[in-house]
Amino acid sequence: MSTVHKGLTALACLLTFATDASRAEPGPDGSTLFLLACQACHSFGKESATRIGPRLDGIAGKQAGTATNYPYSDAIKNSGLVWDRATLVAWITGAERIVPGTLMAHHNHLEPREVVLVADHLLDNTIKP
């Protein structure tokens, strides 16, 4: 089993727990968490500009590293990842573990339930004022 598949399998268990936990504890929504944790490097929205990282709107179901106007690393271009809930959770939790050699350098400080909320926000492709 590849590293990607092992990581995604382990995170499938986390998704079940995190989804249940997100129902039990009120807190910021995915849009707010995106603004707090991701917006420094990424934009999200039809009219948004590319920043240090690529724009993230409309990524649901797309292959990683294929958006135009962004210089992706060869590692992410060749990863074969497709952006779905499990992949986004794994990526936000530890991109460098999922795709060694990626250019994304981040330090995730979100709780598991918050990671799921951000992933769901990205997949819903909604912009909240």
Answer yes or no: are the C-beta atoms of 54 and 80 closer than 8 Å: no
Look at the chain and report how many structural domains it folds into.
Answer: 1
Distance CA(81)–CA(61), nearest Å, equals 10
11's enclosing H/E stretch is helix 3-24
| One pLDDT digit (tens) per residue for the chain, 129 residues | 565 555 554 444 445 444 554 455 678 999 999 999 999 899 887 767 778 899 888 899 999 999 888 899 999 999 999 999 999 999 999 999 999 999 887 777 899 999 999 999 999 865 444
What pLDDT is recorded for position 82?
96
Distances 62 to 36, 58, 85, 87 between C-alpha atoms, Å: 24, 8, 12, 11
| Alpha-carbon torsion angle 53, 101, 69, 37, nearest 10 | -10
What pLDDT is recorded for position 24?
57
Give the number of other Cβ atoms within 10 Å of residue 100's Cβ: 10
* DSSP character at residue 84: S
| CATH code at position 70 | 1.10.760.10
Is residue 129 assigned to a domain?
Answer: no
Structural domain of residue 85, as residue ranges? Answer: 3-124
Is residue 7 assigned to a domain?
Answer: yes
Distance CA(56)–CA(46), nearest Å, equals 10
Is residue 25 assigned to a domain?
Answer: yes
What pLDDT is recorded for position 61?
93
What pLDDT is recorded for position 23?
55
